[in-house]
Amino acid sequence: MGARQLHFNLFLLDTGHHEASWRLPGSDPHANLSLAAHQHLARVAEEAKFDSLFLADSPALFGSPERRPSGRIEPTVLLSALAVSTQHIGLIATASTSYNEPFNLARRLASVDHISGGRAGWNIVTTAGDAAARNFGLEGQPLHKTRYERASEFLDVATRLWDSWADDAIVADKDTGVHAVGDRIRPISHVGPHFSVEGPLNLPRSPQGHPLLVQAGSSDDGKEFAARWAEAIFTAQPTLAESQAFYADIKRRVVAAGRNPDHVLVLPGIVPVLGDTEAEARELEAELDRLIAPEYAVAQLAQLLQVDPARLQLDEQLPADIATEDEIEGAKSRYTLVVDWARRDRLTVRELIGRLGGGRGHRTFTGTAVQVADTIQHYFENGAADGFNIMPAVLPSGLEAFTSSVVPILQERGLFRTEYTGVTLRDHYGLPRPANRLDPEAAEVAS
């Protein structure tokens, strides 16, 4: 067993995570719809030996198309194209348990795992917001608790569908004419509060057994769900202390759920803004912040906080009487993060939208490559992270700067791989291939 090493996931978002990145002179405002742009970013991350990349998604229009690129190619479609454009890097798609059915989604994700040779992952979301609900015949979003109850049953069904074929079901014996052993392919016969699914899946068990399971919710319901199901967690905490508290809490919950805490990786988001000098990095950050359109940012903040935009005055702090987390049914953990941040640092609305414009609540770090590497190492070695969800403020330049300057420093320190040593996404993350739950003869296969 070698020394513990960092894990890096690249969070792809059109021209970058800063709201104004598309307005920079060198940005391609059509990158969100360009396969070539995504292929370039995937290859840059793979050359740097990143574990994985991931695509965010929502079953509703993302943001405001009047103010920034908002179109999204469906993730499993895009990742299928990236699977044949890359050889090693993991490919993680976001998909909602609230607005999909287990059979169809299990099939799509297993298909990506087959196509990629075992590099697929699923970022599981329950999807807050009325806009998505109205696209699926509902008047408003289901209750937060209901969304997580459905998600838990969804995962139970999906994983059983992935296990409905034994690993040795296909024998392809030309002499006997037997292609698959019938009794090694089983229905799941599930009937529950949300789903009725007979099975089996119409696709054999995939190279990883099932795609890597990733989760990003940080509410109590989200953390309990993660403790039961997640194998990697994308999270947002703006300070070291909050990251340490979240890390300890998740690992404790995982143990309480009867799972190995080393098999659940915590990857906080970090938005690196890099320069050859700290002053140069600050100048880039200031230029980006100047390009934020305040009226759009206020509207986005008002939607998150579920208040009338007219109540948010740019040069005043948040109203004292906004709702508590328990009183909303939207994205609870992100709501609390933003409100607590604004209250703790006594931020005006203008200051808050400036911070959120860079990373939507994730840790933004502006400085030199050495300073960013030092910060990453400090989090990693002090109980705050198993790795990071890298969220460049500007793409592709921010990723290229990170891979060419920060990654080599961490490699020299022995904290990050210099070559891939495995084949699958689970290999990269150091996670076992799951045993087939429907096959009593199967055993968990360690990486």
Does 94 count as an annotated binding residue?
yes
Residue of 385, 340, 383 whose CA lies nearest to 365: 385
**Domain chopping of the chain, boundaries:** 7-271+363-429
Tokens of 115: 């196509």
Gap between the Cα atoms of 38 and 52, Å rounded: 13
Q: How many residues are listed for the chain in this entry?
A: 447
Element housing 377 (H / E): helix 369-381
Q: Is the peptide bond before 396 cis (omega within 30 degrees of 0)?
A: yes
Gap between the Cα atoms of 125 and 330, Å rounded: 12
Query: Is the Cβ–Cβ distance between 197 and 188 less than 8 Å?
Result: yes
Residue 30: per-residue pLDDT: 94
Residue 103: per-residue pLDDT: 98
Residue 425: per-residue pLDDT: 98
Does 218 count as an annotated binding residue?
yes
Contacts (Cβ under 8 Å, ≥6 apart) of 407: 8, 48, 49, 416
Does 219 count as an annotated binding residue?
yes
CATH class of 7-271+363-429: alpha beta
Place of tokens 């905490």: 237
Does 144 count as an annotated binding residue?
yes
At 7, give phi and psi (nearest 5°): -120, 135
Gap between the Cα atoms of 249 and 267, Å rounded: 14
Residue 447: per-residue pLDDT: 43
Tokens of 8: 């890096």
Element housing 308 (H / E): none
Q: How many CA atoms lie within 13 A of 197 on its CB side?
A: 26
Q: Can you spell out the DSSP letters for 219-238? A: SHHHHHHHHHH-SEEEE--S
Residue 9: per-residue pLDDT: 98
* Low-confidence spans in the chain with pLDDT less than 50: 1, 359, 446-447
Tokens of 428: 């990269």
Contacts (Cβ under 8 Å, ≥6 apart) of 258: none
Is pTM beyond 0.85? Reply is yes
Residue of 69, 63, 38 whose CA lies nearest to 53: 38
Q: Is 288 helix (H, G, I), strand (E, B) or coil?
A: helix
Element housing 390 (H / E): strand 387-390
